[in-house]
Every structure is written in C-alpha cells, then in structure tokens.
Amino acid sequence: MNTPIVEISSISKHFGSQAVLNGLDWHVRPGQVIGLLGRNGAGKSTLLECLLGLRETSAGSVRIYGEDVRHLSDATRARIGYVPQKSDLFDWLTPRQMLDYFKALYPRWNDAKVDALLARWGFDGLMRNKPIGKLSGGEQQRLSIIRALGPDPELLILDEPVSALDPVGRRDFLRELIDGVVEHDTTVVFSTHILSDLERVALDVAFLKDGRITLQGQLDDLLEGARRVVGLGAVLDGVTLAGEVRRHRGRDGTVSVVTHGGAGLGAVGAQTGVRVEPLSLEDLFIEVTQ
C-alpha cells in the first residue's frame, strides 16, 4: 500500500529559455486525494500533462503503476481518468455518441454511473441530440467529467475541473467527487484555484513554486501547525524555527516568519513583543507561493 503509483523523478520542462519545471520530484500513493496549488503560470497544467505523458519532459522520468509514462500499456491507460482544463471533446458528436465511442475503449465502463450522471446533469433532456460543439463551456466540462468517471478509474487526474462551472455545477461535481470517487478509495490529483472547494475534498495539498513541489502534507496537519511569528529583528534574527517556509523583514525592522511546524513556538512566543498567529489555507497559499 505504500508503494507509489506515480513516481516522478527529477523532471524538468523548458519552453525555450524558460524553465517551468525544474528538477521536480513527486510521489503519489494509492488512495491519496491531493490538491495541487500554485500561482497562475506556476506550471500546474504542465506538470499534470507530463505526469500523464501528454507532454514530453526535457529531463527526468515519470512512471505510473511501474510503467514508463511514455510507453503505457493499454491496461494501465484504462486505469486512468483525466479531465483537462480545456475540454477536448468531439464537437460534431452528440454527448451519447461521444460516450459510446469511449465506452468501446475501456473494458470496465460503468454504464449505470454514466446514465445516472447524464440524467442528473441534464443531458437526457434538450441536450440529448445537440452536437457537443453547440453546448456551453460549463456543459462541455460536465461532459468531460462524465467521460473521465465512466471507466471507474483507479487514478483520476483533474486540471481545474470546475473552472467553467457555475456554483450549482461546482456543488454537484464536488458531491459526485466525494460520494462516487473519494469514498471508493480512488487516487485523485486535482489542481484548483478555488481554495474553499479544495478544503471540502482534499486530504493532502502540494504547493508548486519555482518548478518544484516546495511543500506537501496532510491538509489538517499543515493548517494545525501553520503559524506566522512576528516580532522585532533583535528577537527573531538568528532564531531558526522548525518548518520555516518564508522569512520577511519589514521596513520598520519587524521580522515575519511563516512556519508549518508548530513545534517549539512557545518559548519564542513568550518573548516580549512577539506574537504568534494561526494561518488559514489562503494565508498559507499566499506565503508559500510568494
């Protein structure tokens, strides 16, 4: 159970002279539900595409279920579901025609789940015979999600899966993700910029910055231990706190230290003029990705 199903070793990806991924190492273990966080342009989509073998790396290696991602067997591909940030559907087909096409490619296609999602998300009504190209962005994204869930994947990769959905669509998707996927021990990696959604679903979070995973851990543990320590430089200079993420000196001479360790702060916090503040996920995101 501890053997990673995704093993990323020292991958780099350059676009011209720009390094988007830089010697990145990352492991994903069975049953993990990981929210991938990073600023716009940090390389989240590039990382997920390299993970799946959809984009070649400039260096390093990626293995899924022990296989080189460049040469995945059909059996391994059938274990993976993927929702890209931009839908890549067949515009000239109807939703049912498109899903029937993919059904033929997967030996474990779950007809009951697909039919239920089509009905629940409105595709058995007016959209039944409408070409996919005529659907709205949100409708296409829902259809892309149904396609990914159809084969009951063991590994589900989601790149900004709710970016085109309205609040009702987001709620429906999150309910399906929790009830129909997470509760069945599916391994999930998803990027999102909506932190409130992530807090409802993710058990782990990973922060991408400067082309590497700079911090990863269980969400509850990270938030329980995340603190901002603020005080005069005369007190905090020369003091290294456990789990330091970022240290910043203000113009007034105060020093702000962000830590995710939480241990050993009692003695520092007892110093005159030093305050210790808890951090929300949004606070931690800002501090880690600056």
Paired sense of beta strands 227-232 and 275-278, if any: antiparallel
Q: Are residues 209 and 238 in the same domain?
A: no
Residues 6+ apart with CB under 8 A from 30: 1, 3, 5, 185, 187
Q: Rounded CA gap, 164 and 137, in Å?
A: 6
Q: Rounded CA gap, 147 and 90, in Å?
A: 12
Residues 6+ apart with CB under 8 A from 141: 83, 87, 161, 162, 163, 164, 165, 169
- The closest of 185, 208, 189 to 198, measured between CA atoms, is 189
Contact 64, 5 (CB under 8 A): yes
Q: How many residues does the chain have?
A: 290
Domain edge (last residue) among 168, 188, 219? 219
Neighbours of 210 (CB within 10 A): 13
Q: Are residues 42 and 137 in the same domain?
A: yes
Q: Are residues 15 and 159 in the same domain?
A: yes
Q: Provide the pLDDT for residue 268.
A: 64
Q: Are residues 131 and 253 in the same domain?
A: no
Domain edge (last residue) among 219, 254, 278? 219
Q: Are residues 131 and 256 in the same domain?
A: no
In this structure, is residue 18 part of a structural domain?
Answer: yes
Q: Are residues 244 and 139 in the same domain?
A: no
- Supply the pTM of this predicted model: 0.89
In this structure, is residue 30 part of a structural domain?
Answer: yes
**DSSP label of 43:** S
Neighbours of 83 (CB within 10 A): 23
Domain edge (last residue) among 219, 238, 273? 219
Q: Provide the pLDDT for residue 125.
A: 67
What is the enclosing helix (H) or strand (E) of 156?
Answer: strand 155-159
Q: Are residues 31 and 89 in the same domain?
A: yes
In this structure, is residue 45 part of a structural domain?
Answer: yes
Contact 94, 129 (CB under 8 A): yes
Q: Provide the pLDDT for residue 151.
A: 92
In this structure, is residue 1 part of a structural domain?
Answer: no
Contact 207, 242 (CB under 8 A): no
CATH number at residue 16: 3.40.50.300
Q: Rounded CA gap, 142 and 157, in Å?
A: 15
**Tens digits of pLDDT across the chain (290 residues):** 578 999 999 999 999 888 899 999 999 999 999 999 999 889 999 999 999 999 999 999 999 999 999 999 999 999 999 999 887 888 889 999 999 999 998 988 999 999 988 888 888 766 677 888 888 888 888 899 899 999 999 999 999 887 777 788 788 888 878 777 776 788 999 998 888 888 888 789 999 999 999 999 999 988 888 888 887 776 777 777 777 788 888 888 787 878 876 666 666 655 656 788 888 899 889 888 88
Q: Are residues 140 and 187 in the same domain?
A: yes
Structural domain tally of the chain? 2
In this structure, is residue 247 part of a structural domain?
Answer: yes
Q: Are residues 248 and 212 in the same domain?
A: no
In this structure, is residue 279 part of a structural domain?
Answer: yes
Q: Are residues 21 and 125 in the same domain?
A: yes
In this structure, is residue 275 part of a structural domain?
Answer: yes
Contact 201, 33 (CB under 8 A): yes
Q: Provide the pLDDT for residue 270.
A: 59
Query: What are the structure tokens assigned to 185, written together?
Result: 């021990």
Q: Which domain holds residue 274?
A: 226-289
Q: Are residues 211 and 230 in the same domain?
A: no
Contact 25, 191 (CB under 8 A): no
- The closest of 280, 214, 201 to 244, measured between CA atoms, is 214
Q: Provide the pLDDT for residue 188.
A: 92
DSSP labels for 52-108?
HTSS--SEEEEEETTEEGGG--HHHHTTEEEE-SS----TTS-HHHHHHHHHTT-TT
Q: Are residues 128 and 76 in the same domain?
A: yes
In this structure, is residue 255 part of a structural domain?
Answer: yes
